[in-house]
Structure 1
């Protein structure tokens, strides 16, 4: 249970100080850099002072290494320059910058930063070997820790770009990676509902996983994401009776999009309403974690907004079902939600008549957005219907040609292959973009109310012992 709960929150961060005797500061920083689990303060500060010896030699060398390295022992910088070792000079330049940023007190030097709590025991053991230590600190008031989302597991790693493309999850918020990925592939499958096309996606995912196509190697990590989209497309195609179009290979288990477009439309909007309700639930949790119960109660993406959403849903359901009790309950809930949201918006405004006017406009926007966002999920049905229509056109052209002789049969095969290739490429692009749009604008806009800061640990690997071929310095230029 704990591991499941941990997967829904960013990694717990601790404010720490890396402490070492001045004589052991370099060795300590080498261990920190090699561990790659500490984000040190002032790492991006451009006003540290004049460049250090390694930085000056790197500038003179005029090279930009793709991967900086550090030597376990302090090297001869002139020897590195003569050998053209821009990688080692770049690593030493970064180390110099952190040494310059260290706070000195007598014979002790310290640098503050952030480290994942789970990595603290390992880091402490590494630093103890060279006389350093890592000391937990109280976080600065008003400063949020950086965010590092969990990357364990092949599936999670394939879904992370979906969230990171939108922004950085605030440290206090829940991690929506897995739910967002599931919502995306479900919406994609509903629009790309063809078992044959979904099977091609699944085969493409397995090809990516195999790594046999070198040009596609950079995309290998997203194979589970593509496989999930393929599986949901297959399931939707089975429900629609679509296998490379209405070929009759599969029976219709649920509905034929071409025969029952209204039912598909209602189903799409109902799915959208469920997803919006889940987004509001996540938004309530996030607002509570960000600002306490008051923030969760009055925020338009919190309890107040959820009450308006549910109230409007009750009004719509009561009107459709001719149920006065549901109409009354929906109206009361919507009014209560608007009152709560209005209180929060007016409190955040400048007050007075201008604040009241601003609050009124914002409340109107809340209502309009709920309605438009819910109806926006109708595109799941619209593009699912478009996919089915394209498949039907290709299949009709194929069957019309197939019975007109041998030459026409070949033409029918060409029409079937080319038509399905075109439909596959077009609809995969459209469904992918539209699912992303719904994810970002309709769902994430309620889940997130702010943006966090990504965790950027300092990581410079230490050169392996087998390559320790740079002589030690005859004289060392020390910067602190």
Structure 2
């Protein structure tokens, strides 16, 4: 939506995909072609015909009764009034109708402002179901934090900020095609600078910035524990959002018994509390965690048993799936150890480059400068690419796999084919909906 409509969206509405309305395009049968030409020109209504179907095909699909033609479809609720006003001079009107039972509305993520640049991190994974939370801001934030923890270096982060500015201003011009990536590069640069300050790294252990937290190579165990802690927080957040999604998808039974709902969240939380109690010598906390985990396991087992049916074979399958749930929880948490592993790798590369530079500087300053520049260039490009992929992998496999249990249907509005389309501006407030 454009800025003119943004004020009409509350913070609660912004948590979900764009609200869709089931509508009927109604017009006198003789005027239906002209009305559809207007509809296809702005491209804000999804019809039962393909999104690129010719005008004649769409016109024939209309239902005609007593010289009145109608076509049903979906469109963003905020645009109904405006489109109806646009069709009125041509004899058409947009009528809100009831939604068919059991039919899921198409999903459209918001594309206004910065959010539109961030949405590809979710859209690349799949289409968010219409009833589910749109996790775009949280997912983008988690990605940037994980990237920074694996790529902590003030100097490299500043270079990423320069790259983000180049993408934003399209300088040089060949970067224009990659402009949509500028918020991710900007966020990655900021978090890299932040963790670089915490690690005391600036183009390696040069001493340019002080160590505010720990040196990765000197304290690998502490870094590993911190990575697991970050992973636990992210998994906990994913479970919290997943409970909301399960409730909206199937009500409280699904939310309660799903392994990606309250049951799975209780197992994860209980095991975490039990471990913390054991590690800290807090017996009461350990017992409470064990009870919470046991309750979660019982709920998950009941959910699995309901899915596979009763009998001996059903019990066996449910037990196997329950064992798999526990194993996967441990494996998912351990996966976040790569935040520390790649952070150590990045620090090791920087240390090697700086060591070679400092040893050659006295006798061979030119060779030292070449090593410094080439070494950091390789670390920035190769390590940056690897870290970017690893952060995306953690996002998709460890977080999104819990958040989404089904895939939605993308909103595909009908447009006039290019040969028959007239140059018409989109209605105010339809930035996102006017995209094919």
Q: Shared fold by TM > 0.5?
A: yes
**In 1, distance between residues paired with 2:381 and 2:182?**
18
Question: Is residue 38 from structure 1 mapped to residue 60 from structure 2 by the alignment?
Answer: no
The question of whether the paired residues in 1 share the 8 Å contact of 2:32 and 2:59 is answered with yes
Q: 1:295-329 CA distances to partner (integer Å, 9 max, x unpaired)? A: 11111011010000011101211221122111111
Task: Identify the residue that residue 431 of structure 2 maps to in structure 1.
Answer: none
**In 2, distance between residues paired with 1:33 and 1:193?**
49
**In 2, distance between residues paired with 1:258 and 1:291?**
48
Query: 1:296 is matched with which residue: 233, 244, 255?
Result: 255
The question of whether the paired residues in 2 share the 8 Å contact of 1:157 and 1:222 is answered with no
**In 2, distance between residues paired with 1:362 and 1:141?**
32
Question: Is residue 25 from structure 1 mapped to residue 32 from structure 2 by the alignment?
Answer: yes
Query: 2:370 is matched with which residue: 414, 419, 430?
Result: 414
Task: Identify the residue that residue 229 of structure 2 maps to in structure 1.
Answer: 270
Q: 1:404-428 CA distances to partner (integer Å, 9 max, x unpaired)? A: 1xxx100000000000011111210
Question: Is residue 459 from structure 1 mapped to residue 418 from structure 2 by the alignment?
Answer: no
Deviation at 1:212, TM superposition (A): 2.3
**In 2, distance between residues paired with 1:146 and 1:442?**
26
Question: Is residue 223 from structure 1 mapped to residue 182 from structure 2 by the alignment?
Answer: yes
Question: Is residue 350 from structure 1 mapped to residue 309 from structure 2 by the alignment?
Answer: yes
**In 1, distance between residues paired with 2:173 and 2:73?**
39
RMSD of aligned C-alpha atoms?
A: 1.3
Could you tell which deviates more after superposition, 102-111 or 174-183? 102-111
**In 1, distance between residues paired with 2:105 and 2:124?**
20
The question of whether the paired residues in 2 share the 8 Å contact of 1:20 and 1:108 is answered with yes
Could you tell which deviates more after superposition, 177-186 or 27-36? 27-36
**In 1, distance between residues paired with 2:89 and 2:328?**
59
Q: 1:125-153 CA distances to partner (integer Å, 9 max, x unpaired)? A: 01111000111111111110000011111
Task: Identify the residue that residue 385 of structure 2 maps to in structure 1.
Answer: 429
The question of whether the paired residues in 1 share the 8 Å contact of 2:111 and 2:117 is answered with no
Query: 1:106 is matched with which residue: 59, 66, 71?
Result: 66
The question of whether the paired residues in 2 share the 8 Å contact of 1:193 and 1:235 is answered with yes
Query: 2:13 is matched with which residue: 6, 10, 15?
Result: 6
Deviation at 1:464, TM superposition (A): 4.3
For 1:3-402, list aligned pairs within 5 A: 3-43=10-50, 94-153=54-113, 155-402=114-361
> Residues 464 and 14 (structure 1 numbering): CA distance in 2 closer, same or farther, change over 3 Å?
closer
**In 1, distance between residues paired with 2:322 and 2:305?**
10
> Secondary structure of 1:257's partner?
coil
What is the total number of aligned residue pairs between the two structures? 414
Query: 1:445 is matched with which residue: 398, 401, 411?
Result: 401
**In 2, distance between residues paired with 1:459 and 1:215?**
30
Q: 1:163-222 CA distances to partner (integer Å, 9 max, x unpaired)? A: 011000000000000000000000000000001001111100100111122222111122
Deviation at 1:116, TM superposition (A): 0.7
> Secondary structure of 2:90's partner?
coil
**In 2, distance between residues paired with 1:274 and 1:165?**
24
TM-score normalised by the chain length of structure 1: 0.85
Runs of at least 5 residues in structure 2 that lack an aligned partner in the other structure: 1-6, 425-436
The question of whether the paired residues in 2 share the 8 Å contact of 1:211 and 1:220 is answered with yes
Q: 1:196-255 CA distances to partner (integer Å, 9 max, x unpaired)? A: 001111100100111122222111122112101110001110110100001110000011
Runs of at least 5 residues in structure 1 that lack an aligned partner in the other structure: 45-90, 466-480
> Secondary structure of 1:4's partner?
coil
TM-score normalised by the chain length of structure 2: 0.93
**In 2, distance between residues paired with 1:144 and 1:386?**
46
**In 2, distance between residues paired with 1:314 and 1:175?**
29
4+ long deviations beyond 4 Å: none
The question of whether the paired residues in 2 share the 8 Å contact of 1:402 and 1:409 is answered with yes
Q: 1:403-462 CA distances to partner (integer Å, 9 max, x unpaired)? A: 11xxx1000000000000111112101110110010001000111110000001112374
**In 1, distance between residues paired with 2:243 and 2:70?**
40
**In 1, distance between residues paired with 2:253 and 2:233?**
25
